[in-house]
Structure 1
């Protein structure tokens, strides 16, 4: 299979989504170069990578691969764009790791969802992160070909998409990029300012951003949970008036938590949050009764305004 075919079928949605998310989450501008075949023997770990395993008709790994200085620049920009504060970290710390993880999760979530809308014989794993050069050897085991596309960011450096291929057994079909939008809250009555709002997301960074946007709007009675199972208990014990609920979390996903909350008899208004725009998932959440669905990312430029549009109860 040609480099061009692999680029268009597998890498193209990831590259396009990364450029769109780069603009939306950092206000940085990136430009993709031409795809080329890398030497497997000469392939080297650059310092930081977001990865997703590919199985099925294609066996391999997709890497969004950064030099440390580029990862740091992107992480600082994600924080700045989300919180409207100047960040000047010089190494990847916990806060930048959370920022980079949010960026990477958004890209992989949206890209793999787009792939899933087509009858393609491959699947992608949840994203994971590689920081250690010693880990690279296991990812190269059995790799016969590496396809690379460089992404240049104005004023910030360069990162790469690498497709590490172990085996390919499928026919080529093209993919078009589709825009993702949120599903609005149909209600018209604004949530009172003294209402208790529960934020549920396993990303402390997202909870911090949501809290900030709510405070900007005048809401201060805010409680938090970092997992769906905790959220189920908090709804029982604290009786919140409104709930923002992430979908993908470590212990219990938001759609399962929503089902349990409804099974307990709670009719609390719920707005879902996710970078995944899978229509089956959305329909499942809608069947449990939700007041809207926000597709990430959100940031300081639009965060408060977006949240305001969803804070409606009747």
Structure 2
């Protein structure tokens, strides 16, 4: 398969989504360079990478690959745009790691969702992170070629997309980024300010941002959970009046937690959050009764308005 075909089918959605997410989640702008072949022997780890394994008709790894200083600059900018505050960290810490994870998860989630709609018969793992070369060695095992696309970030530097290819057997298809902010809450009565709201997301950064939006809107009674199973228990024991719940989480996903909450007899209004816009997943959640679906990212510039639009009950 030619580099052109691999780029169009596999890499293009990641490139397209990362540049779009730079615009929507940071104050930075980026542009893609020409794709080229990296030799496996000369491939060098740059210091920080967000990865997703590819299985099926395409066997390999997709990698969003940064120099540490580029990762720091992007992480600071993600935080700044999420919280509308200045961030000037000089090295990756827990807060920047959370920001980079949210940015990477958004990109990988949206790009893999778009690819899944084209029946290419390969799948992607949940994103994971690599911080040193020793971790990289096992991912290079069996790799036959590496396709690389540089992304230049204005005023910052570069990061790279690498497609580590072990085996490939699929047909070309064209994909484009879906522009959507979500599925609206159909209800009309505003949620009372004294209501108890449960935030469920395994990203501490997202919980912090949404809690800030809620507080700004006058909602002070906010509790948190970092996993679907914890959310199920919180609904049982703390009786929240409203939920915002992520879909993809570490232990129990939000769609599974939603089913368990409904099976327990609770009709608490639930608004789902996700970077994945898969219609089947949305339909599944709607069948379990949700009051809307917010597609990430959510930023300081629009977060309060988005959250307010969804804070409605029957």
TM-score when scaled to structure 2? 0.98
SS at match of 1:21: helix
SS at match of 1:54: strand
Distance 2:85 2:209 in 1: 12
Q: 1:178 Cα deviation (Å)?
A: 2.5
Q: Does 1:146 align with 2:143?
A: no
Deviations 1:187-206 (A, max 9, x none): 11111111110101111111
Q: 1:159 Cα deviation (Å)?
A: 0.3
Alignment correspondent of 2:61: 61
> How do residues 220-235 of structure 1 correspond to structure 2 at under 5 angstroms?
220-235=220-235
Q: 1:174 Cα deviation (Å)?
A: 2.5
> How do residues 208-227 of structure 1 correspond to structure 2 at under 5 angstroms?
208-227=208-227
RMSD: 0.9
Deviations 1:13-68 (A, max 9, x none): 01001111111111210100111111211110000000011111111111000000
Alignment correspondent of 1:43: 43
SS at match of 2:162: strand
Deviations 1:84-135 (A, max 9, x none): 1111111111110010000000100001000111111211111110001111
Alignment correspondent of 2:289: 289
Q: 1:157 Cα deviation (Å)?
A: 1.1
Distance 1:252 1:170 in 2: 32
> How do residues 1-12 of structure 1 correspond to structure 2 at under 5 angstroms?
1-12=1-12
Unaligned runs of 5+ in 1: none
Deviations 1:244-288 (A, max 9, x none): 011111111111111111111111110000101111111011011
Count of residues paired in the alignment: 314
- State whether residues 118 and 173 of structure 2, in contact with CA within 8 Å, keep that contact through their aligned partners in structure 1: no
Distance 1:177 1:273 in 2: 18
Deviations 1:222-241 (A, max 9, x none): 11111111111111111111
Alignment correspondent of 1:17: 17
> How do residues 1-314 of structure 1 correspond to structure 2 at under 5 angstroms?
1-314=1-314
**Stretch moving more, 169-178 or 94-103:** 169-178
SS at match of 1:51: strand
Distance 1:109 1:176 in 2: 14
Structure 1 residue runs of 4 or more that deviate by more than 4 Å after TM superposition: none
SS at match of 1:273: strand
